[in-house]
Amino acid sequence: MSSTGNLDVIINIESLAPPLTGIGWYTRQIVSGVRRTPEVGQLHCFNNYRLVEPDSSDTAAQGQRAEVAGTQTLRSLVRRLPFAYSLRTLVRERSFRRIVRGIGPAVYHEPNYILKSYDGPSVVTIHDLSHVHWPQFHPAERVSHLDKNLARTIARADRVITPSEFTRDEVVSVLGIPRERVTAIHLGVSRDFRPREEQEVRAVLENFGLRFGGYLLVVATLEPRKNIDRLLDAYCRLSKAERSRFPLVLVGANGWRSRALVDRVEKLQKRGGLRALGYVRSSDLPLLYAGAGAFAYPSLYEGFGLPALEALASGIPVLGSDTSAMKEVVADAGLLINPADVDSIYSGLSRVLLDDEFRAAARRKGPERASGFHWDRCVQRTVDVYREVMK
């Protein structure tokens, strides 16, 4: 991409592989925003052993979503091979080194924890330290990879970006990075996430068999850290009439160590009162948020908590956790509970679903709180970091 700017940038976009997780959505927004920034000249996107045009990186990720199920199956098979993770990392590392030799002075931004070898100025985004606090929630190879390479990344990085002040404090205290080398830059929320009238969302809700304002929404990868098992325990304590009024709708792909949870979800679906939609199209997601009666996200640990922010922006009552960065994002615009306590989750669900006074206040406060989080601001502050390290 050519521009009038004089700041060249290299971004690794491997995390755009579907199904997009939080890091993938972050990378997508950074790439999209940086390529529109006038002060950026050349934007080079590295993806799986080659450079790709930034214009096509978004399109490719979108187009592959129809094949998410097949992609997940293939990934699962490959991961079972001995040393697959390490081998793939090594091949990508060598491809990157070979390719960037032909690029002039540029800032390299790694949006996914581990820097590849690069002789110029570099920036890395560390989203959270869940692999340190909750290693059992990750594949052993991933934890080993992070443990082995994160110290080297920190030593080489000119600047570390975190998505929250909470994570900034953690990387300073746990990893020993000087505070002045760490910049907290809040994520943003797309303008697509906003309150909507029933007629705007009716077609999508009818397609999924849902009623406007008549379901409890959860958007999360089905994996242990998202705490879905305790949420199901709490939800099942609601009366049959309450569950009928607000069926639980799960949106998200199956994650690591999800087999037992998936089996439980399937059994509850057969009994009624629960719907697992899997990974839905990005165009449908804002409408599913806006049509919900409430949103629940009792994650045990988050470096930011983007789904909770999207729910706030959509004007629906939000139940979140009183731990990690969730407090920083949700603040007093939603209801924060102890995610390790089923009683606390149950009480929270009762309030966000049934307390009309709280629900009315939450619908007002949510969009007000979310209005302070902008992707444009996130991108500009990120480009400011590029410029600082380039000097």
Please report whether residue 1 resides in a domain: no
Confidence at 79, pLDDT banded by 50, 70, 90 = low
Clarify whether residues 57 and 104 are in a common domain.
yes
Looking at residue 62, its pLDDT comes to 41
Q: What is the pLDDT of residues 325-381, one digit of tens each?
A: 999 999 999 999 999 999 999 999 999 999 999 999 999 999 999 999 999 999 999
Please report whether residue 193 resides in a domain: no
Q: Of all residues in the chain, what percent carry a pLDDT higher than 90?
A: 76
Look over the chain and give the mean of its residue pLDDT values, rounded to a whole number. 90
Looking at residue 245, its pLDDT comes to 96
Please report whether residue 2 resides in a domain: no
Looking at residue 37, its pLDDT comes to 95
Q: What is the pLDDT of residues 141-185, one digit of tens each?
A: 889 989 999 999 999 999 999 999 999 999 999 999 999 999 999
Number of domains the chain contains: 2
Clarify whether residues 170 and 206 are in a common domain.
no
Clarify whether residues 44 and 170 are in a common domain.
yes
Weakest mean pLDDT among 28-42, 89-103, 234-248, 347-361: 89-103
Residue 311 is encoded by which pair of tokens?
Answer: 């729910």
Backbone angles phi, psi at 367, to 5 degrees: -60, -30
Looking at residue 4, its pLDDT comes to 57
Clarify whether residues 278 and 140 are in a common domain.
no
Clarify whether residues 366 and 380 are in a common domain.
no
Identify which of 329, 335, 321, 339 has the alpha carbon closest to the alpha carbon of residue 370. Answer: 329
351-357: long-range contacts (C-beta < 8 A, 24 or more apart)? 352/294, 352/295, 352/296, 352/317, 352/318, 352/319, 353/216, 353/238, 353/242, 353/245, 353/246, 353/293, 353/294, 353/317, 354/242
Please report whether residue 258 resides in a domain: yes
Q: What is the pLDDT of residues 184-199, one digit of tens each?
A: 999 999 999 999 999 9
Taking the C-alpha atoms of residue 383 and residue 236, their distance in angstroms, rounded to an integer, is 47
Clarify whether residues 29 and 87 are in a common domain.
yes
Tell me what the mean pLDDT of segment 299-309 comes to: 97
In which domain, by residue range, is 59 found?
7-188+374-390
Please report whether residue 266 resides in a domain: yes
Clarify whether residues 359 and 258 are in a common domain.
yes
Looking at residue 1, its pLDDT comes to 42
Looking at residue 139, its pLDDT comes to 86
Confidence at 49, pLDDT banded by 50, 70, 90 = confident
- The domain that holds 97 is classified in CATH as 3.40.50.2000
Cα-only R_g, the chain: 21
Looking at residue 87, its pLDDT comes to 78
Q: What is the pLDDT of residues 231-277, one digit of tens each?
A: 999 999 999 999 999 999 999 988 888 889 999 999 999 988 899 99
Residue 361 is encoded by which pair of tokens?
Answer: 């206040």
Looking at residue 167, its pLDDT comes to 98
Clarify whether residues 209 and 133 are in a common domain.
no
Clarify whether residues 11 and 125 are in a common domain.
yes
Residue 137 is encoded by which pair of tokens?
Answer: 């929630």
Q: Regarding predicted confidence, which is higher, 365 or 70? A: 365
Q: What is the 3-state secondary structure (H, E, C) of the chain?
A: CCCCCCEEEEEECHHHCCCCCHHHHHHHHHHHHHCCCCCEEEEEEECCCCEECHHHHHHHHHHHHHHHHHHHHHHHHHHCCCCHHHHHHHHHHHHHHHHHCCCCCCEEEECCCCCCCCCCCEEEECCCCHHHHCHHHCCHHHHHHHHHHHHHHHHHCCEEEECCHHHHHHHHHHHCCCHHHEEECCCCCCCCCCCCCHHHHHHHHHHHCCCCCCCEEEECCECHHHCHHHHHHHHCCCCHHHHHHCCEEEECCECCCCHHHHHHHHHHHHHCCEEEEECCCCCCHHHHHHCCCEEEECCCCCCCCHHHHHHHHCCCCEEEECCCCHHHHHHHHCEEECCCCHHHHHHHHHHHHHCHHHHHHHHHHHHHHHCCCCHHHHHHHHHHHHHHHHC
Residue 63 has pLDDT above 80, yes or no: no
Confidence at 2, pLDDT banded by 50, 70, 90 = very low
Confidence at 69, pLDDT banded by 50, 70, 90 = very low
Clarify whether residues 385 and 363 are in a common domain.
no
Clarify whether residues 171 and 252 are in a common domain.
no
Clarify whether residues 49 and 63 are in a common domain.
yes
